[in-house]
Copies of this chain bind each other. A is one copy, B any other.
Amino acid sequence: MPVRLTDARAPLTHELDVLDEYGERRRIAIPAERALTVFVDTRELVTLMTLGAAPELLVLGYLRNQRLVAGVDDIDSVTVDWDVEAAAVRTRRGIDDFDAKTAKRVVTTGCGQGTVFGDLMGEVDAIALAPPADPAARISQATLYALLDAVRAKESTYKSAGSVHGCALFRQGELLMFVEDVGRHNAIDTIAGWMWMNGIDGRDKIFYTTGRLTSEMVIKSAQMGVPIVVSRSGITQMGLEVAQRLGMCLFGRATNRHFICYCGFERFDAEPEPKRAAA
């Protein structure tokens, strides 16, 4: 049975008059940011701050990444109503041990700091990604460039208003899903929700994010089964360590024709750029 989702819409940008260094007033756009309180079978779970581009998929992905629901089949519907800033999730059978699952989070979670590390790290060692020998789980330099070009064409809110993170899912150079949100966690959760709802396997996919490759971003990618991750930004040590442990291939500082491959060289088919002539 498919999950029933609303398709709630809200403006993604907001205009205001600002003052600049020349003393001039001008009108600019900034990204919207709205509270979305998630109720599961009428019980309040969490309030997410989001741009609001794809709230139903965000809620699905949040439930999945928090491991509150075992499978997408357990969810009957997600109904978002921006008038009351609420998402109502109906499950088919309720959630087992709701209190225990949410109570545990208090202890192990970096509330307000961006991490659900305790739960996530424990699952990391159970993850087996597609091996580097699998051509679908590799990436060439040309594909990397194609992917960066595709992202650049999609960033609509970023272009008009800045201050949002974009995330995308690719099968080689083919863009499958793109989303922007005010938080990079929300953006990856939205992609996860979309994959979950559509039964999409991550083993032959490449994940792109404008955000940094911190531990929890790498872990969430691995949980989606995605072996290759590309970022416009940099990396932190634990993001690197998780990726090395799982044999993932990570790229950072990836923009135009520049990038750094941090690890997982065995998945990367390099086609080196000609070196600039020495001065």
Question: Which B residues are CB-close (under 8 A) to A91?
Answer: none
Known: A49-B117, A113-B185, A183-B113. A236 touches B22 (CB 8 A): no
The docked-state distance in angstroms from the alpha carbon of A33 to that of B117 is 12
Residues of B within 8 A of A239 (CB): 33
Report yes or no: A18 in contact with B260, Cβ–Cβ below 8 A: yes
In the assembled complex, A272 has its CB within 8 A of some CB on chain B: yes
Q: A35-B117, A163-B236, A234-B30 are in contact. Are A268 and B19 (CB under 8 A)?
A: yes
Contact with B along A247-279 (1 / 0, CB 8 A): 000000000011111110100101011110000
- Evaluate whether A113 and B214 lie within 8 angstroms (CB atoms) in the complex, with A22-B273, A234-B30, A261-B18 already known: no
Of A100-108, A130-138, A168-176, A192-200, the one contacting chain B is A100-108
- Tell me how far the C-beta of A44 lies from the nearest C-beta in chain B, rounded to whole angstroms: 5
Residues on B with C-beta less than 8 A from A240 are 14, 16, 30
Whether B163 lies near A112 (C-beta < 8 A) is: no
Copies in the complex: 2
Contact indicator A47/B110 (Cβ below 8 Å): yes
Residues A237 and B49 in contact in the complex (CB < 8 Å), given A261-B18, A262-B18, A270-B23: no
Q: Is the CB of A238 within 8 A of B163?
A: no
Q: Mark A138-168, 1 if CB is under 8 A from B, else 0.
A: 0001000000000000000000011100000
A236: which B residues are within 8 A, CB to CB? Answer: 30-33, 163, 182
Least CB distance, A89 to chain B, in whole angstroms: 15
Judge whether A115 is part of the interface by a CB distance below 8 angstroms: yes
- Decide: A106 near B106, CB < 8 A? Known: A33-B214, A34-B238, A212-B163: yes
A272: contacting residue among B22, B65, B112, CB under 8 A: B22
Residue of B with least CB distance to A19:
B261
Contact A109 B110 (CB under 8 A): no
A109-B112, A110-B112, A265-B19 known; A234-B117 Cβ under 8 A: no
A20 at the interface (CB under 8 A from B): yes
What 9 A-B pairs have minimum CB-CB distances, sorted nearest first? Answer: A23-B272, A163-B234, A33-B236, A112-B116, A33-B238, A19-B261, A162-B234, A14-B237, A102-B106
Identify 8 residue pairs between A and B in the complex whose beta-carbon atoms are under 8 Å apart, listed by A's number.
Answer: A16-B240, A16-B263, A22-B274, A22-B275, A23-B270, A49-B110, A113-B183, A163-B212
- Contacts A47-B118, A114-B114 given; 5 further ones with Cβ under 8 A? A19-B260, A19-B261, A110-B111, A162-B234, A163-B235
